[in-house]
Structure 1
Amino acid sequence: MQRKFFMLTVLLVIASVVLAACGATPTAAPTAAAAVEAASPTAAAEQPTTVPTEPAVMEPVDDMLPAVDPLTVTGDVVSAGSSTVYPLAERMAARFQDEGYAGTITIDSIGSGAGYERFCVTGESDVANASRAIKSSEVESCKAIGREPIEFRVGTDALAVVVSKENTFAKNATMEELAMLFSDQAEKWSDVNPEWPSEPIQRFIPGTDSGTFDYFVEEVFDKNKEPHLNAANTQLSEDDNVLVKGVEGSPYAIGYFGYAYYAENADKLNVLSIEGVAPTAETVDDNSYPLARPLFIYSDAKIMQDKPQVAAYINFFLTYVNEEISEVGYFPASEAALKAAKQAWLDAMAADLTATALKLPAVDPLTVTGDVVSAGSSTVYPLAERMAARFQDEGYAGTITIDSIGSGAGYERFCVTGESDVANASRAIKSSEVESCKAIGREPIEFRVGTDALAVVVSKENTFAKNATMEELAMLFSDQAEKWSDVNPEWPSEPIQRFIPGTDSGTFDYFVEEVFDKNKEPHLNAANTQLSEDDNVLVKGVEGSPYAIGYFGYAYYAENADKLNVLSIEGVAPTAETVDDNSYPLARPLFIYSDAKIMQDKPQVAAYINFFLTYVNEEISEVGYFPASEAALKAAKQAWLDASK
């Protein structure tokens, strides 16, 4: 069912992009894990082959992929392969998670060959990272386990040949000298160039399972790796950091690896020009540097369709890679290559796009009987209250109880005491809370209903605070600052009066995670701090003094905008546009949770959630919040359909 829904989502999103092209306006955690594992050597190098692609079934749409909202993506992604691609993949995974993805992206740096083996032989990974094109034998191995590898070009690496900073004699090498330097043809530096010292060459090279090794052998030794492997004083390692350490340790050492590892260690190493050409963005782009090579990630259409998180990760990777790649030390792929990768993504996702618009069964409130009990987030409360009022206005004669007690207390009432039918939450449920639910026979089902921008507010009388950086925010709400002037010398030398949500609030949890990296102690230890689960108490406190500051859900600011000012964060004010494009730093998802058995045993609960999901986007802006993405709302509707079977 997940696969069907994802296909539907992609179809609808792509349709919106097509409309955009025609002039319409479309609607808009743990860090990446890394593990180095031992890998078995691959067979002798073969001629790389280009993977044949299926005929395109979709036209490129302005070189645009469907928008991905990381906050809506669930499930884990497993990738493995090239140590060269590793730092780029790690950076893209980190950005994906920084923008809201709560799953885990495992990135194992084991070499391109071992990465292909894990993807094509054992089938243990979703994505293969590679610094060389896949070989025909590897394609056949993939086919043997039912996989058709799809190539996505993500960048270009200039292979760097490096020496120690203590090496004052080697500045440039020809391709012929390079072949001698790394082969059994030369024992001493002077054997290669009589002007160089009569000292043994100490060689540090990537392991044989590395795409870097394969590429070097192909370019320098015409695919014959024997002279390379037979060279004296040669240390091999799949870990490029080991190679860096080896080369920097001696003026007579030399090695090679991806340019990113040189860039990261440029204070310890010198990079050689090859044939008189240094590796730069210009020489890589115009192909004048002899050792430039493409970087890839590979996946499979069925994996991407069955695991929407994999498709979302690759989409995100291709969409933003050119904003990140130079920071890693690599160079962008050509525009044509990146377009081809995006087209490959569209082709892969088009294979099963046969679904039509997703709609929930119509609910007639006049026919619904029985009561509904909900409790939880004070942030979700005004939205739930509005949806319940509309449900009743349209004919529902029962009672919907909505208690505003904080997300944590709401989960306790739902998962521990089992007293509520619906939990309202401004944060995702924790694994410990899921276990508590299971202990009483409940399986919590998540329904994303909107997005809140957490508002940091001051009194209308406050004329000095207009914006705060994240660092200033941490000081304003912690024991690091007693007075406003402690945070910014241009602000008054007056005590900061703080009004914050109670510790059982999802708003409190979210703020602590985003601002204090999950350490709540500095926040709770701050002087002049009043906590309350009732946001109206916080509003009253802040409006009462020009030296007060607080935070809560945007809806409460919107309701009290005549009494309060909202701060910009990092220069970005909370608006529909900045929340939608993720530029406002304190935006977060809003949820309601229930359980399939509750929904089946109490039809009024299923009807209420159905009605909520069907009409929430007609009401949410009136409350002061922002709609969830189209994909997130459709996922919620699909979850309702699955629970109602």
Structure 2
Amino acid sequence: MAKFHYLIGIAAFALAGCQDQGGKSSDAADGGARDQIRVVGSSTVYPFTTAVAEQFPRKFGSFKAPIVESTGTGAGIKQFCAGVGAKFPDIVNASRQIKKSELDGCTKNGVTEMVELQIGIDGIALGESKAGANMGLTEEDVYKALAANPYGKPNTAKTWKDVNPALPATAIKVFGPPPTSGTRDAFAELILEKGCDANPEMKTLKSSDKDKHKEVCTKVREDGAYVESGENDNLIVQKLVANPDAIGIFGYSFLEENLDKVRGVKLQGVEPTYDTIASYTYPGARPLYIYVKSAHLKAIPGLKEFVGEYASAWNPDGYLKRRGLISAPDDIRAKNLDIATKLTPMDPATVK
């Protein structure tokens, strides 16, 4: 317990010196130094961070279990980047890499250093009820069905058959994440854009007018065909069970957990599975991240130890695999273990 009280003392001293945007002590604004790690962000990464948070106090009895909130990647990064001090989160879960515009916001608010860790791989799975049509789709099918203005023209498709004569004449209804979600961002980049760029004119547009290209290729229709379903991927699974003709978009781990109710939809002829995502054969494969605020590493009790616990859990034989995390390749894991051990700050130049 002496060590615990000593660390609390360090936290009180270090965070008392942290200033928020208005120049007031963040510590004072939050009613005192924090002795508990706080994590916000991605609903996809949430189950993995929660698993580490559950194990953490069992291995490190002198520290409290972290508080983990599912806010979505975009909203979580906004909170994380709002400042340094006790009232701001220590870690943000992210189902995509932080954007340059977000990093600039961090810097503006005094969050000048952070540790970026790729914790593993996930797939943006398309799923349907086991009572569904068992469709196979291409990236272009998905784009034509969901884009607000496919190839620059208003979307008039009502059924999947309107999109592709080989598909069933069932109404297009897709349950998916909101714009604040990293899953939505990755879906736009990995699937919608590729479907859009199947058209030669769109490839040309990308070179001549990048902003127009992004709007045409990634803006989703708002006429009811795409239904925003919040940051709760389990809710999307429930909606698929109740709507057998619908399709859902969510992280692979939620598909794996519910294979008794739903199945994956093949994309480009590839089914979303552990192996196809791990090998990046499945088109929707993507890396997952956590970001740790460097200024909090000495101030928040147990934060360094928590990072170390996370790094020990993401191996192929680690307990996060049982939660559905797909381990990154050996070289990526080795690189990120080194970062986690040394707590090396991210190079801002690597952010797009």
Assess if the C-alpha contact under 8 Å between 1:183 and 1:231 holds in 2: no
Assess if the C-alpha contact under 8 Å between 1:166 and 1:250 holds in 2: no
Shift of the 195–221 alpha-carbon distance from structure 1 to 2, 3 Å rule, reads closer
User: 89, 112, 115: which is aligned to 2:76?
Assistant: 115
Matched, 1:344 2:339: yes
Assess if the C-alpha contact under 8 Å between 1:158 and 1:330 holds in 2: no
User: 169, 175, 195: which is aligned to 2:139?
Assistant: 175
Q: Deviations over 1:586-630 (max 9, x none)?
A: xxxxxxxxxxxxxxxxxxxxxxxxxxxxxxxxxxxxxxxxxxxxx
Name the residue aligned to 1:156: 121
User: 180, 183, 206: which is aligned to 1:212?
Assistant: 183
**Counterpart Cα distance in 2 of 1:140 and 1:3:** 31
Shift of the 343–3 alpha-carbon distance from structure 1 to 2, 3 Å rule, reads farther
**Counterpart Cα distance in 2 of 1:325 and 1:232:** 36
**Counterpart Cα distance in 1 of 2:219 and 2:108:** 34
Assess if the C-alpha contact under 8 Å between 2:41 and 2:93 holds in 1: yes
Higher relative contact order (CA 8 A, sep 6+): 2
Aligned residue for 1:161, secondary structure, equals strand
Aligned residue for 1:305, secondary structure, equals coil
Code of the aligned partner of 1:84: T
Structure 1 residue 279 displacement after superposition: 2.0
TM-score of the superposition, structure 2-length normalised?
0.74
Shift of the 78–260 alpha-carbon distance from structure 1 to 2, 3 Å rule, reads same
Structure 1 residue 262 displacement after superposition: 0.8
**Counterpart Cα distance in 1 of 2:173 and 2:249:** 12
Q: Deviations over 1:332-379 (max 9, x none)?
A: 0122222222222333379xxxxxxxxxxxxxxxxxxxxxxxxxxxxx
User: 199, 224, 227: which is aligned to 1:232?
Assistant: 224
1:382-531 alignment, distance < 5 Å: none
Q: Deviations over 1:298-349 (max 9, x none)?
A: 0122211222411111111111222022211220012222222222233337
Total equivalences in the alignment: 282
Assess if the C-alpha contact under 8 Å between 1:169 and 1:196 holds in 2: no
Shift of the 329–253 alpha-carbon distance from structure 1 to 2, 3 Å rule, reads same
Assess if the C-alpha contact under 8 Å between 1:305 and 1:349 holds in 2: no
Structure 1 residue 136 displacement after superposition: 0.8
Aligned residue for 2:69, secondary structure, equals strand
1:249-328 alignment, distance < 5 Å: 249-322=242-315, 323-328=318-323
- Aligned-residue Cα RMSD (Å) equals 2.4
Name the residue aligned to 2:200: none
Percent sequence identity over aligned pairs:
30
Name the residue aligned to 1:589: none
Code of the aligned partner of 1:298: Y
Aligned residue for 2:92, secondary structure, equals strand
Aligned residue for 1:306, secondary structure, equals coil
Assess if the C-alpha contact under 8 Å between 1:150 and 1:299 holds in 2: yes
Matched, 1:127 2:91: yes
Assess if the C-alpha contact under 8 Å between 1:139 and 1:149 holds in 2: no
Q: Deviations over 1:379-419 (max 9, x none)?
A: xxxxxxxxxxxxxxxxxxxxxxxxxxxxxxxxxxxxxxxxx
Aligned residue for 1:298, secondary structure, equals strand
Matched, 1:77 2:37: yes
- List gaps (5 residues or longer) in structure 1: 7-73, 351-645
Structure 1 residue 2 displacement after superposition: 4.0
**Counterpart Cα distance in 2 of 1:205 and 1:280:** 19
**Counterpart Cα distance in 1 of 2:337 and 2:163:** 45
Runs of 4+ in 1 over 6 A off after TM superposition: 3-6
Shift of the 138–227 alpha-carbon distance from structure 1 to 2, 3 Å rule, reads closer
Shift of the 314–231 alpha-carbon distance from structure 1 to 2, 3 Å rule, reads farther
Q: Deviations over 1:183-238 (max 9, x none)?
A: 34432121123243323111101011000000001122334465424353322122
Assess if the C-alpha contact under 8 Å between 2:128 and 2:134 holds in 1: no
**Counterpart Cα distance in 1 of 2:273 and 2:105:** 37
Structure 1 residue 5 displacement after superposition: 8.0
Q: Which has the higher strand share?
A: 1
**Counterpart Cα distance in 2 of 1:313 and 1:279:** 31
Name the residue aligned to 1:534: none
Q: Deviations over 1:518-548 (max 9, x none)?
A: xxxxxxxxxxxxxxxxxxxxxxxxxxxxxxx
Code of the aligned partner of 1:182: L
**Counterpart Cα distance in 2 of 1:113 and 1:266:** 29
TM-score of the superposition, structure 1-length normalised?
0.41
**Counterpart Cα distance in 2 of 1:99 and 1:311:** 14
